[in-house]
Structure 1
Amino acid sequence: MKLNNLQVLRAIAAYMVLLAHIEDIEAKRGIGHILGRWTDIGDWGVDLFFVLSGFVMVLVSHHTLGGLRDAGKFLWSRVTRIYPLWWLCLSALVPIWLFRPQLVYGGTQQEISLLKDYLLIPKSESPLLQTGWTLIHEMYFYIFFAALLMIPLGERRRLPILILWGTVAVSLGLILNPSRGEEPVLRLLTHPMLLEFLAGAAAAFLWRSTRGALGVPALAVGAAALIIGMTLYVNGALGADSGGFITHDRARVILFLPSAALLTYGAASIELRQDWKLTGLPVSIGDWSYSLYLTHMLSANFFGLVWGKVAMPGLLDNAIALPAIMLGCTLVAWASFTLFEQPVTGQSKKLGQRIFGRLRPAAAQV
C-alpha cells in the first residue's frame, strides 16, 4: 500500500538533509554567506526518515503471520533496496578519496575500513560517504524486525515486544553511556535514535487501529511541536554541546521525535480518512528520495567545486548558485532512480518472489 502523503514527507526529509549540507558547501566554496546556523534544522530530515521507516515496516508486514518465509521476504526487500545504491555511490567516491582525500568529508579520518563501509558495519568513525551512518541504524532495525517476524506471533503482539526492546536498549545506553570511538557496536545497539523507529512503528499501529481518526489534530500539534523543537534545537536550549547528560543525539530525539511521529501519523490519516492527498511532482520526488539522500553529497560537492571556480564577491551569485545546486542534485537523483535504483529494485523483487515463493507460509508451518 503506497501512501502519497508519506512519499511527500520522504521528499521533505531528503531536502531538509540537503539544506543542512548545502550550508557547508557555501562556507567552503562561496564568497560571502547567506545561510547560517539556522540550516541545522535540516537535521530533522534524518529523524523524519527514521520515523517513516518504522511506520512503513509495520505497514508492509501487518498482514503477515510471521515465520521464516515472511522474515526472509521482508529482509530481502530491505537489503536489496539499501545496498545496491549504497555500493554504487560509495564506489564512485573511493577513487576521489584515493587521489584527492581532502575533497572527501572524512577522507582524512583515522579509521577507514572500506569493508566495514560497504557492509554497513559500525566503526569508530563515520563511513567514507558520511550519509551511510543512517543506513547502519536502518539495517540494525531491519535485522531486529526480521528476527521478530520469524516468530509467528501475529501483528498485535509485535508492538509490545518492540517497545520492551527499545526501552531496555535505550536504558542500557543511558546507564553505560558507550562512546562512539571505543564502543561503536554497543553505542549503535543502545542509541537513543532507536526510539524514532519505534515511534514510527507505534504510529502505524495507532493509524491502523483508529483508521486515522485523529489525523487533523495530529497534524496541528505536530506542526506546533516542529516549530518549537526546531527553535530550541538551533539555539542549543538543551545544552547538547556542553558534554553533559543531554548529548546531541538525546537532544535531537527529545526535540524532533514528537513532531516527526505526529506528522507521519497525521499525513497518513488524512489520506486514508478524508482522501486528502498530494499528487504529482512532490510524490515523484518522494520516490527518488533515497537516491537524493545518497547522491546529494557527491553531486552537491561537484556543483560546489564548479561554483567555487567562478564565485564572485557579493551575495548575488550565492542566491543563484544555491538553488541551482539543489536543482542539480534533484536531477541527479532522478537519473539515479530512473537508470539504476528502480530497475535494480524491480529485478530484485522478481528474484525474491521466485526464492520465497518456494517456501510455505507460516500458517502451514505452525
Structure 2
Amino acid sequence: MPDRSLIWETEKAIKTQPNILIVDDIPENLSVLGELLQPTYRVLAANSGRRALQIARGVPAPDLILLDVMMPDMDGYDVLAELRDDPATRGIPVIFVTAMDATEDEERGLDCGAVDYITKPIRPAIVMARVRAQLELKNARDILSDQNAYLEKEVSRRMAENQLIQEVSIHALARLAETRDPETGNHLRRTQEYVRTLATSLQHHSRFAAYLDDRTIAALAQSAPLHDIGKVGIPDHILLKPGKLTPDEWEIMKTHAELGAHAIAQAEADALQPVEFLGIAKEIAHHHHEKWDGSGYPDHLSGDDIPISARLMALADVFDALICARVYKPPMPFDEAHEIIVKGSGSHFDPDIVAAFESEFENFKRIANTWGE
C-alpha cells in the first residue's frame, strides 16, 4: 500500500513548483532546456507559437515563459505581442532564448516587453540564475498585487462603512427636527429622492451640467434631509400650532431657515477640513424657501442668485407638503399638486426645474407611494 504521507508531500511539491513554459520549434532544444529545468521546476513545452499561446491561456498559467525568437509561421515577437494584448497573460514574464546575439536584436526583444534575453548556445548556470531571478521578481509582484487588492477592498469597505455612519448621523440630526413635528413621517426620505430625481434629470442640461456631476448629485441627496434642521429652534407653541399662524408667529417660523444654516455653519467650523455635503446642506437649509421671482425668504433672492441646491429642494419640499395631510389640511391628489407646481413655474420655481419635474412626474408619484405615510 503506498505511503500516503509521501503522496501528500509529492502533491504539495508539485503544487508549489513554479510552472515554466519552454517554446522552441526544434525538439532537441526543448529537450536540453527541459532536462536542465525539470529537477527544480514543473516544465511545460510547446513546439510552436500557437501552441504556446494555448498553454499560456490554460490553467494553471505559466509563471515564466522561455520563448525562442526564430520560429516558422509565428515568431517569438508575434507570440509576445499576443501575450501582452491579452489581460489573462499580460503579467507572465517572458525571457527570449535565441541564437541572435546582435545588440539591436536584444534591444528589440526588451522593447517588445521581454524581461530578459538569453543567447544560444545556452549556459546552464546563466539560464538557472536568470530563471530564478525572474521567478523571484514575479513572486514579489504577485505578493504586492495581492496586498494592493486587499488594501483596495479594505479601503472600499471602510469608505462604505464611513458613508453609512455619515448617512445615519445625518438622518439622526434631521430627525431632531422631524420628531417635533410628527405629521411629517417619511418626508425626509421622499424629499431626498425627489431631489435626487430632479438633479439626475437635469445632469446634462446646459444650465446645470457644470454643477450636477455624479459626486454633487450624491452630496445633494445626502444633504437634503437637513433642510429643516432649523426647526429645532422654533418654540413648540408655534411649530405645533394646529391652526393658522399669526403674522408675528409666521415671522418666527421663518427664522428656521437661518437657524438651520447657522447650525450647519457651526458644524463646518468644527470640521478639520471642508466637508462638501455640509456646504450644500447649508445652502439648502438657508435658501430652500426663496422663490424664483424674489418673493421668498429669508434673503429675497431671485433667479440664478438662488443656489441650484436650494432651487431643487424648494420644488421637492412644496410638492411633498401639498400631497401630505396636515392638521390644517387634507392631502392633495397628485394631479392637483402637479398643477400647482406647474403654475409656479417662473414665479415660485425655476422654469427648467419645473420642466424636469413634469418629465419625472411618474417617478415622483412612485417615490411618494413607496415612502408614503
TM-score bucket (shorter structure)? under 0.3
* Higher normalized contact order (CA 8 Å, seq sep 6+, divided by chain length): 1
TM-score (norm 2): 0.25
TM-score (norm 1): 0.25
Whichever structure has more helix as a proportion of its residues is 1
Whichever structure has more strand as a proportion of its residues is 2
